[in-house]
Structure 1
Amino acid sequence: MRLSLPAKVLPSSYDLPSYRGRGRTTIISPTVVITGVLSVIYVLAYTYYHYVSARDPTSYFFDKSRAYSQKYSRLRIEQADNFVTRINAGAAAVKAADAPPRICVGVATVARRNQQYVSTTIGSLLEGLTESERQSMFLNVLVAHSDPAKHPSANDKWMNTLPDRVLHYDPDSPDYDQIVAWEEGGWYRNKTIYDYTYLLRDCYNTNSEYIAMIEDDTIAARGWYKQALQALDTVSKTMQIRAQTRWAYLRLFYVEDLLGWNSEEWPKYLFWSLVVWFVLSFGMLYAKKNFWRHVDNISYAAIAFVSGILIPLSIGLHFMAGRQTMWPIPAGVQEMNKYGCCSQALVFPRSVIPLILARSDLTTDWLVDMMIEQIADKEQLDRWAVVPALFQHIGTTSSKGYGFDTNARELWNFRFEDHPP
């Protein structure tokens, strides 16, 4: 008769000593493994966002030395300048058709210190357009000086060839003395608003369906005109669905700096941070209590480490990475009723122009975009934007005079540079 001996009960694997050669080592505790692995993951995530958020101006990791690289705008500047060079050399230029244009594009230009950008701006607007697209667009340029000869580009061949109309201020106009006084007194804000509304009114008189106001230190993406018309059709259909007839503008350029973690929304950020912390922390405690067979080897010390240190650090990293990194604005036509600086490239529907002209204020010390935003807020008009932007700001020498160049250099749309070449 064969006897069977009872099997010897062995300790669980994590209490079992391990032998390696003549030296004795003990298997590492699961608590140490878990906290170590999660810590390494956090360090890797921190390193990852340190790299990918360098071009996000809403991020703690924003790096000016890398962020302003002209990956796409450099190409567009070259293409625009080559286009203008061909025109100056005698190439034929297409003009608008006699019919009312689809879009009147207004560009007000003033002389800047050292460098002029307006020829590049005009070149980028026209380079790459089909003949039918160019014929449906009326290009209206205002040389915004009481004496046009003060503008270095006033007598350039392209200036007399590419625009459909070049406007100058009439010395016999009743506003002429005021224009001179603004120029001599350095009242650039009042003068800028006057220039803007003067050109806006002249574009309105072309009977165009839309009016695009473009500043003279911007550059357009190739194919901007077609994409802008498609976006305008999208806005028009959306407003019809909403049973609304008026909206303020379509933005073709915006600055991402203001589209970050805005301080007035801190209660929302705090609420969701607490929700995430609560769900994860109490989820771990619930799992340990109710599924002890699987997670009993995870100690309360590990849970406390994750809950008290790693989760708060991870939430902090979420905000450090930047809003445009973690929650980028989806591509397409997006509503942008707040934080949509600035006035570099706006397209207005014809219906809103009389309202803007009637509400324009030449006495208040403000900027064009501030004035338009106040009008839109008061009238509860929706504002839209194309994402990614179709225009980039390239001016580093401000038209406003000394002291504004730093701000001019930082007016930048970082996603514009991601356009395919």
Structure 2
Amino acid sequence: MRPSRANIAFWLIWFCALTWSYLNGYDDPSSLFYDENRAFDRHLSATREAEVDDFLRREIYPAKHLRPTAPAPGTSAHTKKDILCIGIPSINRTSTAFLPHTIGSLVDSLSPEERESIHIVVLLGDKDPTGHFAYGKDWLFGLADNVVIYQKENSTAAAADDGADIQSGLNYTVLPRDIRGVGRSDDRIENIRIDHSVLFEQCRIRDPTYFALVEDDVIASRDWFSRFKSGVAEVERRSKASGRDWLYLRLFYSELFMGWNNEEVFDYLKVVVLTYSAAIVCLLLALRWRQRRPRAAGPLAGKDFGQNVASLLGLWIPACIALVFVTGRISLHRLTTFSPGVREMPRYGCCAQGVVYPNRHLEGLQTFLREPPYKFPGDMITEGYAERKGWTKWALDPSVLQHVGIVESSDGPRRAEVWNFSFERLLPG
């Protein structure tokens, strides 16, 4: 092909690709076309919140639910093994209360059989549990299977002897706040880790196949449970094939940490070098073919060939590399991922909004979370825990949970830095 025609053809294709990048990169923080004003539009999460509100109005709030009796620690009142036990830590917040939406979105789309295979434990983690907005509410019993609170520091030990809140008459599981028996401070990280360890323990008593730690500021997609089941099955299959155990499967990860990271600059350079190497190898093969078949060389002959080679190496490849970085890493991943599934996530996995662990690791993680020093949150120290054990880490792709995002749960009305943009692109059904 003549150089002029080759150039026209290349730039037509390149500008079409650039146009696609412009139209699709508005919610990709690693793209040149990222638009923060549009990126946080709540499409699916707003729809799910409306669906959950309707579910709560129809099924939960009007009903007079009998309060279930929580099994005493170390006992089991169930006969069928749980597929999944979900632990949800919650403290009373100064801003919007998210807990009803979180639990409601986890159960509103389940069939009766699916709901029976899941056990939901909610920990009201305040020092004074009566100050939590959900304390004593009938809707909480309509959504959760077990509610755990800490014994008030000024109450008697006898109040917790039978696992019930005697003072209020509620069938809550009551535990001493100093669960380790060596004192407990008001340090935020220490309390988060101990709260999480309590949920690990409460679910471990049930002996489920899997345990999910879910924060109380998320909303779930309607198909979260079916995708969870297919996801863990795939992870188990890959783990068995590779001979490496796995620590967790994320139900949520923040795409804000999945862009062009400076720590990976040498990985990007490797790709550039490999691209040029592949191009040069192809050119050498073309030249060899030309030498063997001079009459059939056609466009590989003479001056035109030399100009096309110069354009390829000096202009077209650099333009394509630039287009890749302009398009953004998340957009490229969406382009090459044709169906929901799982992806290995050895780095940049954040955050703890929804993480699934296999039963076999619960006891070790429970102990690990309770051990001082409390310098780092549990989701950070478990990363190092997995690396030391040589275990893999996975995530459902895209996420089946969304952080509330627009309202930061602990600091009031500001945009959160924990968000999965691809979640909002999922279809509501």
- Classify the TM-score, shorter chain: 0.7 to 0.9
Provide, for residues 216-236 of structure 1, a one-character-per-residue CA deviation record: whole Å limited to 9, x for no partner.
Answer: 011111132233123223333
2:78 to 81, 90, 98: 98
Instruction: Compute the displacement of 1:193 (Å).
Output: 1.0
Q: Is the 8 A contact 2:252 2:402 kept in 1?
A: yes
Q: Is the 8 A contact 2:212 2:356 kept in 1?
A: yes
Q: Is the 8 A contact 1:248 1:348 kept in 2?
A: yes
Q: Does 1:413 align with 2:389?
A: no
How do residues 253-292 of structure 1 correspond to structure 2 at under 5 angstroms?
A: 253-280=252-279
Aligned to 2:351: 342
Partners in 2 of 1:195 and 1:327 — Cα distance?
Answer: 36
Q: Is the 8 A contact 1:126 1:134 kept in 2?
A: yes
**Residue type of the partner of 2:20?**
Y
Instruction: Compute the displacement of 1:179 (Å).
Output: 8.2
Q: Does 1:392 align with 2:395?
A: no
Normalized against structure 2, the TM-score is what?
A: 0.79
**Residue type of the partner of 2:331?**
T
Partners in 2 of 1:126 and 1:140 — Cα distance?
Answer: 13
Instruction: Compute the displacement of 1:283 (Å).
Output: 5.7
Partner SS state of residue 19, structure 2: helix
Instruction: Compute the displacement of 1:116 (Å).
Output: 0.9
- RMSD of Structure 2 on Structure 1 (CA): 3.2
1:366 to 376, 386, 397: 376
Partner SS state of residue 53, structure 1: helix
Instruction: Compute the displacement of 1:201 (Å).
Output: 1.0
Q: Is the 8 A contact 2:249 2:395 kept in 1?
A: yes
Task: After superposing the two structures, state which structure 1 stretch, 235-244 or 166-175, moved more.
Answer: 235-244
How do residues 301-312 of structure 1 correspond to structure 2 at under 5 angstroms?
A: 303-312=309-318
Instruction: Compute the displacement of 1:305 (Å).
Output: 4.5
Aligned residues: 385
Distance 1:348 1:61, change over 3 A: same
Q: Does 1:59 align with 2:57?
A: no
Distance 1:191 1:397, change over 3 A: farther
Provide, for residues 330-386 of structure 1, a one-character-per-residue CA deviation record: whole Å limited to 9, x for no partner.
Answer: 431332232221111111111101111222234332122102112111111222222
- Gap runs ≥5 in structure 1: 1-28
Identity over aligned pairs, percent: 28
Partners in 2 of 1:270 and 1:94 — Cα distance?
Answer: 61
**Residue type of the partner of 2:217?**
D
Q: Does 1:82 align with 2:54?
A: yes
Distance 1:371 1:284, change over 3 A: closer
Partner SS state of residue 247, structure 2: strand
**Residue type of the partner of 1:54?**
Y
Partners in 2 of 1:84 and 1:93 — Cα distance?
Answer: 17
Aligned to 2:390: 380
Partners in 2 of 1:202 and 1:127 — Cα distance?
Answer: 24
Provide, for residues 47-76 of structure 1, a one-character-per-residue CA deviation record: whole Å limited to 9, x for no partner.
Answer: 221222222233232222222222212111
Partners in 2 of 1:391 and 1:74 — Cα distance?
Answer: 13
Partner SS state of residue 249, structure 1: strand
Distance 1:239 1:287, change over 3 A: closer
Aligned to 2:188: 188
Partner SS state of residue 141, structure 1: strand
Q: Is the 8 A contact 1:247 1:352 kept in 2?
A: no
Partners in 1 of 2:309 and 2:7 — Cα distance?
Answer: 9
Distance 1:228 1:34, change over 3 A: closer
Distance 1:268 1:397, change over 3 A: closer
Q: Does 1:167 align with 2:174?
A: no
Partners in 1 of 2:84 and 2:286 — Cα distance?
Answer: 62
- Gap runs ≥5 in structure 2: 71-76, 158-175
Instruction: Compute the displacement of 1:180 (Å).
Output: 7.6
Aligned to 2:161: none
Partners in 2 of 1:355 and 1:79 — Cα distance?
Answer: 38
Instruction: Compute the displacement of 1:137 (Å).
Output: 1.1
Instruction: Compute the displacement of 1:40 (Å).
Output: 4.0
Q: Is the 8 A contact 2:95 2:409 kept in 1?
A: no
Normalized against structure 1, the TM-score is what?
A: 0.81
Distance 1:160 1:278, change over 3 A: closer
Aligned to 2:211: 211
Provide, for residues 205-226 of structure 1, a one-character-per-residue CA deviation record: whole Å limited to 9, x for no partner.
Answer: 1222211111001111113223
Q: Is the 8 A contact 1:212 1:345 kept in 2?
A: yes
Aligned to 1:8: none
Instruction: Compute the displacement of 1:113 (Å).
Output: 2.1
1:314 to 311, 320, 327: 320
